[in-house]
């Protein structure tokens, strides 16, 4: 079954095993359902923020849970 709903917020790690965070952002920009979804970037090593219009914030690891929840509440709330 394919859902017609899009995610409210994507939490994206910069370093992943098969594809980097910036590479995934590039792929997402090609899909109508994903190109405008807000993205929260998390990274334990990178200080560089990917340049992409969907990025709404950057958190270092370990994440401050209160900041993470604040951002999630802001962007993942029902329309």
Give the CATH number, domain containing residue 35: 3.40.50.2300
Residue 43 lies in a domain: yes
The number of distinct structural domains making up the chain is 1
**55 bridge partner residues:** 39
Residue 58 lies in a domain: yes
pTM score of the predicted model: 0.80
Residue 3 lies in a domain: no
Q: What is the extent of the structural domain holding 55?
A: 10-75
Q: Where are the beta strands (DSSP E) in 3-77?
A: 10-13, 39-43, 55-60
Q: Which tens digit of pLDDT belongs to each residue from 6-43?
A: 788 999 988 888 888 888 899 999 988 888 899 999 88
Q: What is the pLDDT of residue 79?
A: 58
């Amino acid at each position: 079954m394919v859902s017609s709903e899009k995610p409210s917020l994507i939490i994206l790690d910069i370093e992943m095993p098969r594809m980097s965070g910036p590479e995934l952002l590039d792929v997402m920009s090609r899909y109508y359902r994903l190109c405008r979804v807000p993205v929260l970037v998390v990274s334990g090593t990178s200080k560089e923020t990917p340049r992409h219009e969907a990025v709404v914030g950057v958190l270092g690891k370990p994440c401050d849970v209160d900041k993470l929840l604040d951002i999630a509440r802001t962007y993942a709330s029902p329309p």
